[in-house]
Protein backbone atom coordinates (compact mmCIF):
# COMPACT_ATOMS: atom_id res chain seq x y z
CA UNK A 1 0.00 0.00 0.00
CA UNK A 2 1.23 3.46 -0.88
CA UNK A 3 0.26 6.48 1.24
CA UNK A 4 -0.07 9.74 -0.69
CA UNK A 5 -0.76 13.20 0.70
CA UNK A 6 -0.54 15.33 -2.45
CA UNK A 7 -3.52 15.77 -4.78
CA UNK A 8 -1.44 16.18 -7.95
CA UNK A 9 0.53 13.01 -7.22
CA UNK A 10 -2.47 10.76 -6.69
CA UNK A 11 -4.30 12.33 -9.64
CA UNK A 12 -1.41 11.43 -11.98
CA UNK A 13 -1.37 7.87 -10.63
CA UNK A 14 -5.10 7.12 -10.94
CA UNK A 15 -5.21 8.49 -14.51
CA UNK A 16 -2.90 5.64 -15.55
CA UNK A 17 -5.47 3.04 -14.49
CA UNK A 18 -8.90 2.15 -15.86
CA UNK A 19 -10.23 -0.48 -13.46
CA UNK A 20 -10.46 1.64 -10.29
CA UNK A 21 -12.61 1.75 -7.17
CA UNK A 22 -12.77 4.60 -4.66
CA UNK A 23 -13.90 4.48 -1.03
CA UNK A 24 -14.14 7.99 0.50
CA UNK A 25 -14.08 8.05 4.32
CA UNK A 26 -13.68 10.48 7.20
CA UNK A 27 -11.55 8.01 9.14
CA UNK A 28 -12.18 6.14 12.39
CA UNK A 29 -12.70 3.07 10.22
CA UNK A 30 -14.92 0.18 11.32
CA UNK A 31 -16.26 -3.10 9.87
CA UNK A 32 -18.71 -1.15 7.71
CA UNK A 33 -15.87 0.70 5.98
CA UNK A 34 -13.98 -2.58 5.69
CA UNK A 35 -16.93 -4.16 3.84
CA UNK A 36 -16.88 -1.29 1.30
CA UNK A 37 -13.13 -1.71 0.77
CA UNK A 38 -13.48 -5.49 0.38
CA UNK A 39 -16.23 -5.02 -2.20
CA UNK A 40 -14.05 -2.61 -4.17
CA UNK A 41 -11.16 -5.08 -4.00
CA UNK A 42 -13.31 -7.84 -5.55
CA UNK A 43 -14.64 -5.59 -8.33
CA UNK A 44 -11.58 -3.55 -9.32
CA UNK A 45 -7.91 -4.04 -10.07
CA UNK A 46 -6.97 -0.97 -8.01
CA UNK A 47 -8.66 0.34 -4.86
CA UNK A 48 -8.17 3.89 -3.62
CA UNK A 49 -9.26 4.96 -0.12
CA UNK A 50 -9.31 8.53 1.15
CA UNK A 51 -9.34 9.64 4.78
CA UNK A 52 -10.35 13.26 5.08
CA UNK A 53 -12.36 14.73 7.94
CA UNK A 54 -14.30 17.36 6.03
CA UNK A 55 -15.15 20.35 8.28
CA UNK A 56 -17.49 21.83 5.66
CA UNK A 57 -20.12 19.11 6.22
CA UNK A 58 -20.36 19.67 9.98
CA UNK A 59 -23.08 22.15 10.86
CA UNK A 60 -22.07 21.81 14.52
CA UNK A 61 -18.46 22.67 15.50
CA UNK A 62 -18.73 20.62 18.70
CA UNK A 63 -19.68 17.58 16.63
CA UNK A 64 -16.57 18.09 14.48
CA UNK A 65 -14.34 18.47 17.53
CA UNK A 66 -15.51 15.26 19.20
CA UNK A 67 -15.59 13.16 16.01
CA UNK A 68 -13.28 10.16 16.71
CA UNK A 69 -9.84 10.27 15.10
CA UNK A 70 -7.71 7.10 14.96
CA UNK A 71 -5.38 7.58 12.00
CA UNK A 72 -2.72 5.01 13.05
CA UNK A 73 -5.36 2.31 13.39
CA UNK A 74 -6.98 3.40 10.10
CA UNK A 75 -3.67 3.00 8.25
CA UNK A 76 -3.22 -0.45 9.81
CA UNK A 77 -6.71 -1.51 8.67
CA UNK A 78 -6.05 -0.32 5.10
CA UNK A 79 -2.71 -2.15 4.99
CA UNK A 80 -4.30 -5.37 6.24
CA UNK A 81 -7.01 -5.10 3.57
CA UNK A 82 -4.32 -4.56 0.91
CA UNK A 83 -5.62 -1.17 -0.23
CA UNK A 84 -3.51 -0.07 -3.20
CA UNK A 85 -3.42 3.68 -2.50
CA UNK A 86 -4.40 5.58 0.64
CA UNK A 87 -4.99 9.31 0.18
CA UNK A 88 -4.40 11.42 3.32
CA UNK A 89 -4.77 15.04 2.18
CA UNK A 90 -4.78 18.25 4.18
CA UNK A 91 -7.67 20.72 3.94
CA UNK A 92 -5.55 22.87 1.63
CA UNK A 93 -4.73 19.94 -0.70
CA UNK A 94 -8.43 19.23 -1.20
CA UNK A 95 -9.97 22.67 -1.40
CA UNK A 96 -7.31 24.48 -3.43
CA UNK A 97 -7.76 21.88 -6.18
CA UNK A 98 -9.35 23.70 -9.11
CA UNK A 99 -12.41 22.08 -10.70
CA UNK A 100 -14.55 23.18 -13.62
CA UNK A 101 -17.92 24.62 -12.64
CA UNK A 102 -20.19 21.81 -11.49
CA UNK A 103 -23.94 21.82 -10.94
CA UNK A 104 -25.42 20.76 -7.61
CA UNK A 105 -28.68 18.78 -7.63
CA UNK A 106 -31.86 20.02 -6.00
CA UNK A 107 -32.28 18.51 -2.53
CA UNK A 108 -35.71 17.90 -1.02
CA UNK A 109 -36.06 19.68 2.34
CA UNK A 110 -36.51 16.63 4.51
CA UNK A 111 -34.56 14.59 7.06
CA UNK A 112 -30.84 15.49 7.09
CA UNK A 113 -31.35 18.44 4.75
CA UNK A 114 -33.98 19.86 7.11
CA UNK A 115 -32.20 19.24 10.40
CA UNK A 116 -28.56 19.78 9.40
CA UNK A 117 -28.50 23.05 7.49
CA UNK A 118 -25.56 23.26 5.10
CA UNK A 119 -24.54 19.64 5.68
CA UNK A 120 -25.15 18.36 2.17
CA UNK A 121 -23.66 21.43 0.55
CA UNK A 122 -20.48 20.59 2.48
CA UNK A 123 -20.72 16.98 1.33
CA UNK A 124 -21.10 18.02 -2.32
CA UNK A 125 -18.23 20.50 -2.06
CA UNK A 126 -15.83 17.77 -0.94
CA UNK A 127 -17.20 15.16 -3.37
CA UNK A 128 -16.75 17.66 -6.22
CA UNK A 129 -13.06 17.94 -5.29
CA UNK A 130 -12.40 14.28 -4.46
CA UNK A 131 -14.01 12.90 -7.63
CA UNK A 132 -11.92 15.30 -9.68
CA UNK A 133 -8.70 14.45 -7.84
CA UNK A 134 -9.58 10.74 -7.87
CA UNK A 135 -11.65 10.10 -11.02
CA UNK A 136 -12.34 6.42 -10.27
CA UNK A 137 -14.72 4.31 -12.34
CA UNK A 138 -16.67 3.26 -9.24
CA UNK A 139 -17.37 4.91 -5.89
CA UNK A 140 -18.49 2.81 -2.91
CA UNK A 141 -21.07 4.27 -0.52
CA UNK A 142 -22.92 2.73 2.42
CA UNK A 143 -26.72 2.61 2.65
CA UNK A 144 -26.72 3.81 6.28
CA UNK A 145 -26.26 7.33 4.86
CA UNK A 146 -28.89 6.66 2.21
CA UNK A 147 -29.94 10.26 1.64
CA UNK A 148 -26.30 11.22 1.13
CA UNK A 149 -25.86 8.31 -1.29
CA UNK A 150 -28.84 9.48 -3.38
CA UNK A 151 -27.59 13.08 -3.47
CA UNK A 152 -24.08 12.04 -4.55
CA UNK A 153 -25.57 9.80 -7.24
CA UNK A 154 -27.74 12.70 -8.48
CA UNK A 155 -24.66 14.96 -8.54
CA UNK A 156 -22.71 12.42 -10.61
CA UNK A 157 -25.59 11.96 -13.08
CA UNK A 158 -26.29 15.71 -13.35
CA UNK A 159 -22.66 16.43 -14.24
CA UNK A 160 -22.30 13.33 -16.45
CA UNK A 161 -19.28 12.09 -14.51
CA UNK A 162 -18.00 8.70 -15.64
CA UNK A 163 -18.31 7.06 -12.23
CA UNK A 164 -20.75 4.38 -11.05
CA UNK A 165 -22.18 4.56 -7.53
CA UNK A 166 -22.04 1.14 -5.88
CA UNK A 167 -24.54 0.86 -3.02
CA UNK A 168 -23.29 -1.23 -0.10
CA UNK A 169 -25.58 -2.72 2.52
CA UNK A 170 -25.47 -1.34 6.05
CA UNK A 171 -23.12 -3.34 8.23
CA UNK A 172 -24.66 -4.08 11.63
CA UNK A 173 -23.34 -5.08 15.02
CA UNK A 174 -24.61 -8.28 16.67
CA UNK A 175 -27.10 -6.13 18.58
CA UNK A 176 -28.62 -4.88 15.30
CA UNK A 177 -27.20 -1.37 15.52
CA UNK A 178 -25.76 0.08 12.30
CA UNK A 179 -22.01 0.53 12.64
CA UNK A 180 -20.93 4.16 12.80
CA UNK A 181 -17.75 5.95 13.79
CA UNK A 182 -19.87 7.85 16.33
CA UNK A 183 -20.72 4.57 18.09
CA UNK A 184 -17.18 4.68 19.49
CA UNK A 185 -18.19 7.69 21.57
CA UNK A 186 -20.86 5.67 23.43
CA UNK A 187 -20.60 3.36 26.43
CA UNK A 188 -21.77 -0.27 26.28
CA UNK A 189 -24.90 0.74 28.18
CA UNK A 190 -25.64 3.60 25.77
CA UNK A 191 -25.11 1.34 22.74
CA UNK A 192 -27.55 -1.16 24.23
CA UNK A 193 -30.12 1.63 24.64
CA UNK A 194 -29.62 2.67 21.01
CA UNK A 195 -29.93 -0.89 19.73
CA UNK A 196 -33.26 -1.32 21.55
CA UNK A 197 -34.70 1.61 19.58
CA UNK A 198 -33.80 -0.11 16.30
CA UNK A 199 -35.07 -3.51 17.49
CA UNK A 200 -38.37 -1.92 18.55
CA UNK A 201 -39.04 -0.34 15.14
CA UNK A 202 -37.94 -3.43 13.23
CA UNK A 203 -40.22 -5.58 15.39
CA UNK A 204 -43.20 -3.34 14.61
CA UNK A 205 -42.38 -3.41 10.91
CA UNK A 206 -41.95 -7.20 10.91
CA UNK A 207 -45.41 -7.55 12.49
CA UNK A 208 -46.71 -5.63 9.46
CA UNK A 209 -48.36 -2.91 11.48
CA UNK A 210 -49.56 0.04 9.43
CA UNK A 211 -47.36 3.11 9.22
CA UNK A 212 -49.47 5.22 11.57
CA UNK A 213 -49.13 2.65 14.37
CA UNK A 214 -45.37 2.30 13.79
CA UNK A 215 -44.76 6.07 13.92
CA UNK A 216 -47.01 6.69 16.95
CA UNK A 217 -45.64 3.67 18.86
CA UNK A 218 -42.04 4.68 18.12
CA UNK A 219 -42.59 8.26 19.24
CA UNK A 220 -44.19 6.99 22.47
CA UNK A 221 -41.27 4.59 23.03
CA UNK A 222 -38.75 7.40 22.55
CA UNK A 223 -40.67 9.71 24.88
CA UNK A 224 -41.03 7.03 27.57
CA UNK A 225 -37.29 6.35 27.42
CA UNK A 226 -36.37 10.05 27.32
CA UNK A 227 -34.72 9.78 23.91
CA UNK A 228 -34.64 12.93 21.80
CA UNK A 229 -35.18 12.53 18.04
CA UNK A 230 -35.18 14.71 14.92
CA UNK A 231 -37.37 12.65 12.62
CA UNK A 232 -39.05 9.32 11.89
CA UNK A 233 -40.11 9.18 8.24
CA UNK A 234 -41.28 6.61 5.71
CA UNK A 235 -39.48 7.39 2.45
CA UNK A 236 -40.09 6.21 -1.09
CA UNK A 237 -36.62 5.24 -2.33
CA UNK A 238 -37.40 5.91 -6.02
CA UNK A 239 -38.73 9.45 -5.60
CA UNK A 240 -37.01 10.07 -2.25
CA UNK A 241 -40.14 11.65 -0.84
CA UNK A 242 -42.29 10.96 2.22
CA UNK A 243 -44.89 8.25 1.57
CA UNK A 244 -47.94 7.48 3.73
CA UNK A 245 -47.89 3.74 3.16
CA UNK A 246 -45.23 1.06 3.65
CA UNK A 247 -44.35 -0.81 0.44
CA UNK A 248 -41.36 -2.76 -0.86
CA UNK A 249 -40.08 0.55 -2.27
CA UNK A 250 -40.07 2.40 1.06
CA UNK A 251 -37.85 2.46 4.14
CA UNK A 252 -38.29 3.96 7.57
CA UNK A 253 -35.61 6.54 8.38
CA UNK A 254 -34.79 7.77 11.88
CA UNK A 255 -32.38 10.23 13.53
CA UNK A 256 -32.16 10.12 17.33
CA UNK A 257 -29.81 11.02 20.16
CA UNK A 258 -28.17 8.87 22.82
CA UNK A 259 -26.08 10.84 25.35
CA UNK A 260 -26.04 13.79 22.89
CA UNK A 261 -24.58 11.55 20.15
CA UNK A 262 -26.71 11.68 17.01
CA UNK A 263 -27.40 8.37 15.28
CA UNK A 264 -29.18 7.71 11.99
CA UNK A 265 -30.52 4.51 10.47
CA UNK A 266 -32.96 3.15 7.91
CA UNK A 267 -34.62 -0.22 7.28
Active site residues: 33
The pair phi, psi for residue 62, each rounded to 5°, is: -65, -40
Burial class (CB in 10 A: 0-12, 13-18, 19+), 223: exposed
Element at 194 (helix H, strand E): helix 188-206
Could you tell me which of 230, 228, 232 has the C-alpha nearest to residue 217?
232
Residue 57 CA neighbour count, 13 Å, CB half: 18
Burial class (CB in 10 A: 0-12, 13-18, 19+), 226: exposed
Please report the beta strands in 16-149, taking only residues with DSSP state E, as ranges in sequence order: 20-25, 46-51, 85-87, 138-142
Residue 70 CA neighbour count, 13 Å, CB half: 13
Amino acid sequence: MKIIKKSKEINLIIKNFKNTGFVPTMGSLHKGHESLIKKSKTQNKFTFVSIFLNPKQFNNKKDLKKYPKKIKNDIKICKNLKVDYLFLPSFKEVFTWKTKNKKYPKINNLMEQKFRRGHFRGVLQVIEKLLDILPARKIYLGEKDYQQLVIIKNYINLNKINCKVVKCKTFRDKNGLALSSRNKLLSTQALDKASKVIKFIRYLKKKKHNLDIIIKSTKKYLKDNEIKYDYIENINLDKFKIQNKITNKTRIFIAFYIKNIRLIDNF
